[in-house]
Structure 1
Amino acid sequence: MKLTLQRRQVRVPDGRIGCVLVLPWFTDPERGVVRCDAAPLLVEWMSETLARGAGNDRVVELRAVPGGGEIGAGPSAAGVLSAVSWVGRDGGVGGFALVAHRDDGVASAAVSAAMGRWTALLRSRRLLVTDMPALCRGGRRAARMIDGMARAATRSDGGRVFVVGRPVTGAPWPTGWEQAGVVCVDDLDAVPDGAPVAFPAHGVPPAVRAEAARRRLRVIDGTCPLVTAVQADAAAYAARGDRVVVIGDRRHASLPVLTACAGPAAEVVHDVADVPAAARARDAVSFVIDPGMAVEDALPIVTALRDHVPELAGHHFDVLCDAASDRAQTIASVSSGSELTFVLAADERDPDVRVARRSARFPAVRVVTRLADLEAEPLAGATALGLVVTRSAPAGLREQVVAALAGLGPLTCRRRSVDTTPYPVRAAGPVEDAPAGGAVAERPDSLV
């Protein structure tokens, strides 16, 4: 890129005192039309620069100029266009350009300084973007069921569909559901008799199921099959008199539902530090793992429980969900391989921010809630960039950020995801001394 970098300054028939123009494109006499993908970001940077200095009464506008900055406007033209452009490997031309009035000394000085700073940022970069679905498989299954139910209700009588609880914690409300009549409620008190009701992927407490059955509501059960299996285990362990240790993430919507399935026998454990208190029970102890918890976080808790309770029982690991683990590992892979990681989120409290910071090899992790949060200084020395897109990220922000980074030099962009899938386990050969009939003796299903 450096070999093709070109600076140019020309007169243009536009520009007024008190205003700085940031161009979305301009025309270079040799290279033709030059795209300025970073222009929206440069508007933010220029506005901040002027606000801090003597030009705080100046305004910054994003718009093209007549003629696109072509040479030939003549020496009498009022505007001065300062531009930088480069040619990418594919022959595409990128750059940026600012216009100030020739008699506006403050704006002209600010433009000159900004062009110098921004030109120093230009370099070829590689951007690694997390490729994570907003919904897990169970969440997508529930969304399809609710969507189909809403379409059927609209076609039949224009009625509404009630969802007990938001389908997936932290995920955006699916586009079009509100217009289709999908209504989120906290409990069945808000549901009219005879109305269709959907249960989300994380399920509902047993009391809600019982009430829906008593009222004979039309129910679509979108509970994830893995969640259903774990909830059934919790209820079964409690029914046989065990103390049920519920291992889960306090932020996940399925945890209170799972706890309700175990009833008074439940003892919630969030991390290894909670284990000693939970292990003091004299009763038999069984465990269940909330499907919303990352497996890597849950299994050390199981190990700690076994150290305290040698006769610990619990469900098989076949019912564990890998969605949270895959999400965490995807974020970790992107963050650990980047010199500078941007996390697109609603705010600092998003749990994916913590994952990115915990796994980063470099300390530079920045939370971006809007385009203006992209700062020039960290970009100056970074070649390998990471982009973590959380569930809470504002709509369209990913596209804005990628475009802005592409406007600061040739950008190679790659997506990365981690997807854990089952691997079949089969016996290597015949089993000696097998019981009569060829069956292999097994431990009870409840033990691991």
Structure 2
Amino acid sequence: MRALRRWWDDTAGGLPATFWYLWSGLLINRAGAFALLFLSLYLTAARGASESLAGVVVGAYGAGGAVGTLLGGVLADRWGRRSTLLAAHLGAAALMAELAFSRHLAVIAVLAALVGVTHSMPSPAFVAAIVDVVPEERRSRAFNLQFWAFNLGMAVASLLAGMLAEASFVALFLVDAAATLAAAAVIALKVPETLARPARMAVEGSSRSGRPGRARPPGLHTALTDRTFLAFVGLTFLLAVLTMQTSTIMPLAMRADGLRPSAYGLVVALGGALIVAGQLFVPRLIEPYRKSSVLAVSTGLMALGFGTLVVADDLPVYLGAAVIWTIGQMLAAPPNAQINADLAPPHLRARYQSVFYLTFPAASFVAPALGGLSLQHLGERHWLVVGVLGVVAAVGHLLAGPHRERRVAALRAAQREAEPVRG
């Protein structure tokens, strides 16, 4: 019993109640976000769309997601985290209900794009709110639990989606809308506004231009011109490209090896099961080490896992490789999120989050577009290219780590100096 209590304290102890309500809202949101998993099937089976047209509509959802990510970051810093989360969830619920009863493909395409906007808006606000309320020394635990909740919710969503899609597509969309409303209710009833709206720090503006008082007012452009932050975003983009291989290129490679779709499902399910079962043990494992070192090891493991597929011809090799790259993903999640939070000035947290989250829709486009060409022309050697990308990312984290740490220390010092002004 003492061992269990000690493990709980190391894993989730000391986190504020607001975090747990945010965590619950995220879990409900992800567990209920299953309708879009079957959007292409719905369009072709129930609405008579061609496969190419279905692809365009699903692409509209992705394009909306990119817009929603930036919009959510700006609004979360201007309106507040709570207001942005509520607006996004209520908007998504209304759009999903409308999508359930829409018949015209043009209307469905517009609604899909708008759903993409509202589905992506909460991400920067969720993370910014977590950073607002969780003390710095406990953020690694908080982000680890966030990643775990996200994957647990997606696993639940995948199971529920299959059952509901067989029963009724209308029910699929309506239950999704109801789950989104449930998440909104948790946020409305239990989550206070966490944005403190601190005064603009003169030191932040002068540190960029060297001319206090003449600096451009901070905004989204600040994140887009922050070289240290953008270098980290670029390395995260490489990690995202590696991760996207499992849902874009790996199914094609497995089919070329004569494996059935059920084999692909088993590989994906193994990764999800490992994350759900083992992610909560990660913070204690990585706590003694520098974040840049952990990220270098994690991306190195992903490089090794995907590089192993160059010799994969049967299911056991794919399963073994999946274990390796999933461990890499598990190790990367907490420090990746924490570095992202540490590099953001407090009054621009959500904007920085929105730029960071753009890496994922970008990777979801680049990975299949270039990966398909690579697989077609290089065959199994494609996985050597993927492995090299992982090694590049690992080396990049080792090289960039010291400068990132100095930047974070400078930001913390500036915040401490500004505290009397804010008070």
TM bin, normalised by shorter chain, reads: under 0.3
* TM-score relative to the length of structure 2: 0.22
* TM-score relative to the length of structure 1: 0.21
Structure label with greater radius of gyration: 1
Higher relative contact order (CA 8 A, sep 6+): 2
| Structure with the larger helix share | 2
| Structure with the larger strand share | 1
